[in-house]
Structure 1
Amino acid sequence: MFELISQKTINLPIGYKMAGIHCGIKKSKKDLGVIYSVEKANAAAVFTTNKVKAAPVLLSMKNIENNEIQAIIVNSGNANACTGEKGYSDSLEMASKTALALDILPEDVFVCSTGVIGMPLDMEKIVSGITKISQILSTGSEKNDDLLNFANAIMTTDTFPKVYSKEVLIHGKKITIVGIAKGSGMIHPNMATMLSFILTDANIEKSALNKALKNSVNDSYNMISVDGDTSTNDTVVILANKKAANKEIFEDTEEFYIFCEALNEVNTALAKMIVKDGEGATKFLEVEVTGAKTVEDAKLISRTVIKSNLVKTAFFGEDANWGRIIAAAGYSGANFDPGNVYIYLENKVGKINVCQNGHFINFSEEKAKEILKEKEIKILINLREGKEKAVSWGCDMSYDYIKINGGYRS
């Protein structure tokens, strides 16, 4: 459907093992995954902003307080959210059983779940699965097949696994960053129903790693929207196990910025994959706001436009209804003068100006239709008031979105 961001070769960082299996939560597809670092890794994470947080989120927030993690255990098919004391106890058991199987401490295990909300986990199947998957780790090696098995094990309504890697040289040492994500629906800025696991062999100081991740999340995952819903389980976590043997990276150094640039490339690629896999999506949309007085104003407008259901449905219907775009900008809370706004639609077919100085102009509906028939479209909004800009990514909203979510539990 779309030209997906893909790589022929996925490079793996040193010192990680992973696996993905079917343990029985789902009918037949893989539903349990594990990541193990041979050395305890520095770690940082960003969690959902939803006040209703799933049990594994609450546990992982506690376990990562010292910014160190050695293993990640993930199940799909059941979110273990809104499950009360039993849900938290189940997450604790997932951590303790994984720790026992891998001979590490329970507090060094990061736990994630994704799937249906409000249903208890079948712990008999989970515990049996942890035993089975740990045996795979003990006999396996660092291979792409294991990574893809893990990527498949964390999916819910996703139609393809989302993986991206990047290599850079720092202090003469090759550093690898690989990201594995899931997400298709319940995607909205300020994190989405998405899980993203970033692994690197870089030697980077804890506070520098934390700063790098938070800055990157703000410019990638927090700039996407599929349907405007924010999940109970959203998590992005990064592990850095120092196996690249580079000199330690500290904040605000040249090496730190090289690392951040590579991390941003990985997270932005994964964020775009999530949008392109949006439930029922037929078009990939990019909203670029330029000429803003502040970055925050640009982000407010870009994110508000990309999440507008009226904008999304207009693009599904291939209708150049620019009025919905400027209306969304108007209620975004950003500070701008509507009388200065220019709006364009652009892709490989061409570019057309549909709004000048905030009001109607005569434009070719035929040319606009040609642009809107394509699968990827840019919405360019120039506020003409400053030098700041922001970009967000999203998709249209089709009939299939209703079909998928109307029967999610069935």
Structure 2
Amino acid sequence: MQLLVFLFVFLATPSDSLNPKRQRFFGTSSENVKSRRSVRNETCPECAMISTTKRKIAANKLKRAPPIFQGPSNDRQRAIVAAFQHSWTGYKKYAWGHDELLPVSKRFDDPFQLGLTIVDSLDTAIIMGLETETREGVEWIRNSLNVSPSKSVNVFETTIRVLGGLLSGYHLTGEEALLEKAAKLGDNLLNAFTKSKSPIPKSDVDLGTGAAFSPNRGYSSLAEATTLQLEFRDLSVLTGDKKYEETAFAASEHVHKTKCAEYDGLCFYHIDENGEFKKTAITLGARADSYYEYLIKQWLQTKKSIDWLRDDFLQSMKSIKNHLYRQSQPSGLWFIGEIAENDDFYPKMDHLVCFLSGSLALSHLNGLDENGEHIKMAKKIGEICHKMYQNPTGLGPEIIHFNIENRTD
């Protein structure tokens, strides 16, 4: 779903994407809120996603009114919307209210018991202008979502997919029920922190009982501990309760204080509940990736007010270039490799590493790229990530290995 919404937004033509008549964002004051309906809504008033009253209430809390999206404007966008609707229709028919559709057997799976597909896809439906799907999703969340099931879930996955889905849905609709569910879920997830011996949370929590544990021999991953802060900080801003931000940010502060000095700001990816790292490979892939992504995003979210977030990001980008950035042979493709536990360079790149292009571009756009190295590197990594899809299936691999000796790539 994330790929679909990215493509939908990305494929907007420049003239359309910059046209204020198409964007139709509301002003910064709730007094500027006006009821706008598409042609579809004029013939079906009850199909309007959000009422004017709800938009006014949300505007006061959000400091702006939620935007209205008008749907696809070109053939490529329409094709992506059709793909989303195809997936949604199958999910609704065979797995509605459950986490995942198993498309071959036409059954469902419930690893979270949180209606994962609905919550995680809601903002995509909104951005695509799909009013029916949005209404169905909001109604299910309001009436049926239980954020306290007797179920053990991964804190990281639940935060980025369910808590993040509820918060983004609230930002885009102003539907108060989404924020109420988000706050209750946030309370449940906090048990992973309060049951730990250090600011580093346990990796899993039972949303019903509050029991917390780390099933991987007591370790959380670097990403699991440091990819919660954007969502928890936003929850604090919206609820006025600082406990979410302060608790989650303490984990980031703890990692900052450890320095990760062995590889100049690049951290090992296993950390226990005592806050101590275990030596592992150095990677920007699974278990570590979003730590680096959230450094710059937290700096931006906090209005560039926390200098060490910026400094840690810049140091890590410098170290990535020095330790992990290599060129394949004989094709000359630039990629991000890994350092194995024995300290040897390993020419393997996870697809997850493609986030780096975006982080480097954010750096460039926010005045951190003094000599232009970040944007050059962003383009090179973006190039290899694009090339990953140039194969007969059109599907990109999860992992790719490179030659760094002069052999055929």
Same fold (TM over 0.5): no
Q: Which has the higher strand share?
A: 1
TM-score (norm: length of structure 2): 0.29
TM-score (norm: length of structure 1): 0.29
